[in-house]
């Protein structure tokens, strides 16, 4: 088959959508002809190159705040393109909307549908875009959701037929996690990873540290506009020596952080999947998550435990004491071969 993947960005850009497109494209390229159309806001990357068997074509774009990705070059090329399968990715970005213009035997959509924006301005834009964006799902042969939560959002907001949506989770390179070794350290470690935004709930974990035994340290990995608030909360509570911030870690160092953790916590109010929870579980680290959105799908009360909003800080501290250091076993996680196999099945249906 001749397959076109349309993505807002592509390698060397790093992000959930970019990693998804890269991994399934390279798997598919072992047996099929795969091309990726992606934007290049910088204009500095090669216009065309072949990476691990995948033909990558990049188009200059206008990308305010590294989002939306408007490219007239890509639109013109999509109108001329002909493929057996056109697979568009990421509802919030315009390349998916324009991928409808390509001539294709089948048009597949990976929605990554957020439901709302994480700022007031972006939320307004998503609401305004909704009637226009509905055309994407009207034209799609199949829609792929990362979780049952995302599927329910798509049905509610766009009235898509249940039978036209397939749930295929985000994949992982499970070999990365084989043989991870715990670094020796004094005391115990709680790990949080993610973009530092208020809705992610990192401030709740910091506040809970007041009620957790003094030998426990909290490591927060990530960056974002809310970091200064988190640092301020840490200092006001006198926890500067027990709460540590890291950002821009190399992949190997991040994996070592996972392996050395005694507990992973994600208290986000809103997630459509959560890659970091899957990585923590792959690292055999027990988890506490907010009983919200797609995070609730991870809760099994064996490896991953839930806590309801509004979160009581003392209840969170008690749960931390109960869960920390538990053994993790029998977690079903998808590697990229699983994801590609199921994606290919959707192409062939």
- Residue 287: give the domain boundaries: 174-323
Is the residue at 329 inside a domain? no
Same domain, 87 and 135: yes
pLDDT (tens, 9 = 90+) of the chain, 349 residues, equals: 999 999 999 999 888 899 999 999 999 999 999 999 999 999 999 999 999 999 999 999 987 767 778 899 999 999 999 999 999 999 988 999 999 999 999 999 999 998 765 565 555 656 666 778 899 999 999 999 999 999 999 999 999 999 999 999 999 999 999 888 777 667 899 999 999 999 999 999 999 999 999 999 999 999 998 999 999 999 999 999 999 999 999 999 999 999 999 999 999 999 999 999 999 999 999 999 999 999 999 999 999 999 999 999 999 999 999 999 999 998 999 999 999 999 999 999 8
**Domain containing residue 272: CATH number:** 3.40.50.2000
Give the torsion sign (CA, 296, 300, 301, 305): negative
Q: Give DSSP secondary structure letters for 26-64.
A: HHHTTTSEEEEEEEETTS-S-SEEEETTEEEEEEE-B-G
Same domain, 37 and 152: yes
What secondary structure letter does DSSP report for 181? -
Is the residue at 265 inside a domain? yes
Is the residue at 26 inside a domain? yes
Same domain, 162 and 201: no
- What's the total number of domains in the chain? 2
* Tokens 């609730």 -> residue: 296
Q: Are 244 and 271 in contact (CB under 8 A)?
A: no
Q: How many other CB atoms are found less than 10 A from the CB of residue 67?
A: 14
Pairing between strand 48-51 and 54-60? antiparallel
Same domain, 160 and 187: no
Same domain, 162 and 233: no
CA gap 218, 192 in Å, rounded? 8
Same domain, 238 and 113: no
Distance, first Cα to last Cα, the chain = 13
Same domain, 114 and 58: yes
Same domain, 251 and 283: yes
CA gap 288, 263 in Å, rounded? 8
Is the residue at 330 inside a domain? no
CA gap 324, 47 in Å, rounded? 49
- Number of residues that this document lists for the chain: 349
């Amino acid at each position: 088959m001749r397959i076109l993947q349309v993505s807002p960005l592509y390698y060397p850009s790093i992000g959930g959508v970019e990693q998804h497109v890269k991994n399934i494209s390279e798997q598919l390229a072992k047996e099929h002809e795969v091309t990726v159309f992606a934007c290049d806001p910088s204009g500095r990357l090669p216009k065309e190159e072949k990476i691990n068997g995948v033909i990558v074509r990049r188009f200059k774009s206008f990308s305010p705040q590294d989002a939306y990705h408007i490219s007239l070059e890509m639109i013109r090329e999509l109108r001329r393109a002909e493929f057996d399968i056109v697979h568009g990715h990421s509802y919030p970005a315009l390349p998916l909307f324009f991928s409808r213009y390509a001539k294709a035997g089948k048009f597949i959509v990976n929605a990554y549908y957020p439901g709302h924006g994480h700022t007031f301005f972006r939320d307004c834009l998503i609401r305004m875009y909704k009637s226009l964006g509905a055309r994407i799902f009207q034209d799609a042969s199949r829609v792929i959701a990362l979780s049952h939560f995302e599927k329910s959002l798509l049905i509610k907001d766009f009235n898509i037929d249940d039978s036209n949506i397939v749930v295929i989770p985000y994949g992982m390179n499970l070999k990365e996690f084989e043989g991870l070794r715990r670094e020796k350290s004094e005391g115990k470690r709680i790990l949080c990873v993610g973009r530092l935004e208020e809705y992610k709930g990192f401030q709740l974990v910091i506040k809970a540290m007041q009620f957790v035994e003094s030998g426990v340290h909290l490591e927060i990995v990530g960056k974002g506009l809310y970091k200064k608030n988190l640092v301020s909360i840490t200092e006001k509570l006198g926890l500067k020596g027990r709460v540590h911030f890291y950002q821009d870690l190399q992949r190997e160092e991040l994996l070592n952080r996972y392996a050395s953790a005694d507990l992973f916590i994600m208290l986000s109010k809103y997630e459509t999947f959560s890659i970091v929870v899957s990585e923590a579980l792959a690292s055999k680290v027990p988890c506490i998550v907010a009983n919200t959105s797609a995070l609730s799908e991870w809760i099994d009360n064996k490896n991953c435990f839930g806590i309801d909003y509004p979160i009581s800080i003392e209840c969170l501290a008690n749960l931390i004491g109960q869960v920390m250091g538990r053994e993790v076993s029998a977690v079903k996680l998808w590697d990229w071969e699983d994801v590609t196999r199921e994606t290919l099945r959707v192409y062939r249906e």
